[in-house]
Chain A
Amino acid sequence: MIGAMTGKRVRVAAAVVALAATAALGALAANAAGESVHIDRQKWTFGGMFGHYDDAQLQRGFKVFVDVCAKCHSIKRLYFRNLAQSGGPSFPEAAVKSLAATYEVDAAPNDEGKVLKRPAILTDAFPGPFKNEQEARFVQNGALPPDLSLITRARGIDAGTPFYVLPYVMARDIVSGYQEAGSDYVYAYITGYKPPPAGMKLADFMNYNVAFPGHQTAMANPFVAGDGLVKYDDGTPPTVDNYARDVVAFLSWLGDPTLEERKRMGLLVIGYLLLTALLLGLAKRRVWSSVH
């Protein structure tokens, strides 16, 4: 019946069909063959609606960073005071002050105009290993170890999802609040050092990595020394896997230090909005009841 085929019904039918199709196809594996590398999703304490950082993990992660990564990588957006603030590693302020004093930063020019060194204080940024990019490249055979302050926000995963599955994957990720693709990638990368496949020729100074696009990366395996490389004093097993998880958690915090406040506020705001929307919906129906 033409009458039954109103525009609204046609639209609804089309939408239902589309949804059903994508839902059915959503059961297919998200990973298609091709050039995209498969990166596993990890379980992080800071994922999802109720995510939060584990202070102890962030503290261990900071230790891993200082012992392993700080030789080549800077974290210039970390200020010593951030290590003591809530929502982060929450070290005691006095401990951070003493830690800061073990680092040297440039002082203001003295009366002779010379720039000497002075111990760092809370308001200073964490000093990097190299004076500038040129020195870094010189030491690293031309490669530049990137600053890691935002590394977990600056990386993503291209899962090569086919277009018919994409709406389902997108909806699922949005609804579950998935923001950890960068963290998943960095974890996969630093644990992704394997012997190259037979017959593959590596370029000079390059290392084989399963997660890195193109599989050849200038960085060497940071955990080549294996378990026990970094001493943990809270009883956590000192395994490479834990080092990787802890340092990625630390870097995730460094890239997104307001996460806890954000998710906490989000819960309150969305709860309030749901209630308000409900009331407004009822009010709207009440107002329109005389017209319908």
Chain B
Amino acid sequence: MQREAGLAAHSAEEPNRRDFIVIAAQAFAGVGAAMALWPFISQMNPDASTQAAASIDVDLSPVKVGQAITVSWRGKPVFIRHRTPEEIKAALATPIAELPDKSARNDDLPERAPATDANRTKKGHENWLIMVGICTHLGCIPKGQTMSDAKGDFGGWFCPCHGSHYDTAGRIRKGPAPRNLEVPPYSFASDTKIKIG
């Protein structure tokens, strides 16, 4: 009799799942499980060896005036041209209003900076032009690095794929490419050494 009463009383009383200890335990377990997820996501980020190769040092001393070299940075070709005074003059003489893309496209400068020759180079080192050699149209590598290459109508670079012409500051002048060639982040460690990236 007593037991039946106990049974009846008890079937009404269910374990109170809203108990604090149960909630706390579930919260800890849940947070732990969520934190455990992070390594699985993070492992897809660039690893240490890739990050180490994120910047490269380039020695500019072998590059004579009028010469250009191409180096590989983060898997992309980077054009380094030691510009002649004529090339620099031609770049400076161009009014910004004539440019299809008026932005500098320099990773070291803010988005809105105008595409002046000064904004495409480093102060005191205007004879050096350093840009990512990937056409901003559909990704071909423009010609113009070697002596025998076509340089297009503006003396800079010419993309053979769809006929984009870049000038001596790497800015798009004619053709389907929408943007000037990208200037990567770089700095001069000395007059003859730069670090890209």
Task: Note whether A and B contact each other (Cβ less than 8 A).
Answer: yes
Report yes or no: B32 in contact with A283, Cβ–Cβ below 8 A.
no
Q: How far is the CB of A67 from chain B (nearest CB, A)?
A: 26
Which of B19-27, B108-116, B123-131, B133-141 lies at the interface?
Answer: B19-27
Give the contacts of B10-40 with A (CB-CB under 8 A): 10, 13-15, 17, 19, 21-22, 24-26, 28-29, 32
Flag whether A9 is at the interface (Cβ < 8 A): no
Q: Which residues of chain B come closer than 8 Å to A122, judged between CB atoms?
A: 52
A6 at the binding interface (Cβ < 8 Å): no
Q: Are A79 and B52 in contact (CB under 8 A)?
A: yes
Cα A123 to Cα B10 with chains together (Å): 71
Q: For the complex, is A81 an interface residue (Cβ under 8 Å from B)?
A: yes
Report whether A272 and B49 are in contact in the complex, using a CB–CB cutoff of 8 Å.
no
Q: Given the interface contacts A121-B57, A123-B53, A290-B10, does A280 sit within 8 Å of B19 by beta carbon?
A: no
Chain B: how many interface residues by the 8 Å CB criterion?
19
8 Å CB contacts to A: which residues of B66-123? none
Is the beta-carbon distance between B21 and A283 smaller than 8 angstroms?
A: yes
With most chain B CB atoms within 10 A of its CB, the pick from A273, A280, A289 is A280
Q: Which of B14, B25, B53 has the most CB of A within 10 A?
A: B25
Is A33 in the interface zone, CB < 8 Å from B?
no
Q: Are B21 and A282 in contact (CB under 8 A)?
A: yes
Chain A facing B: main interface SS: helix
Once the chains are docked, how many angstroms separate the CA of A81 from the CA of B52?
A: 8
Is B28 a contact partner of A279 (Cβ separation < 8 A)?
A: yes
A287 at interface, CB cutoff 8 A:
yes
Partner of B24, one of A279, A288, A290: A279
Question: A286 an interface residue at 8 Å Cβ cutoff?
Answer: yes
> Which residue of chain A is the closest to B33 with respect to CB atoms?
A276
Residues of B within 8 A of A279 (CB): 21, 24-25, 28-29
Q: Determine the distance from Cα of A15 to Cα of B6 in the docked complex, in whole angstroms.
A: 39
Give the chain B neighbours of A18 by CB distance below 8 A.
none
A288 to chain B, nearest CB (A): 8
Bound together, the chains give a CA A79 to CA B51 distance in angstroms of 13
User: Given that A279-B24, A279-B28, A282-B25 are contacting pairs, would A287 and B17 also be in contact in the complex, using a CB cutoff of 8 Å?
Assistant: yes
Known: A286-B15, A286-B19, A290-B14. A280 touches B29 (CB 8 A): yes
Cβ of A28 to closest chain B Cβ, rounded Å = 42
Enumerate chain A residues within 8 angstroms of B21, measured Cβ to Cβ: 279, 282-283, 286
Chain B nearest CB: distance from A113 CB in Å? Answer: 18
Q: Which of B13, B32, B49 contacts A276 (CB 8 A)?
A: B32
Tell me the A residues contacting B by CB distance below 8 Å: 79, 81, 85, 121-123, 272-273, 275-276, 279-280, 282-283, 286-290
Nearest first, the 4 A-B pairs at minimum CB distance are A279-B25, A283-B25, A276-B28, A283-B22
Q: List 14 A-B contacts (CB under 8 A).
A: A79-B52, A81-B48, A81-B52, A276-B28, A276-B29, A280-B29, A283-B21, A283-B22, A283-B25, A283-B26, A286-B15, A286-B19, A286-B21, A290-B10
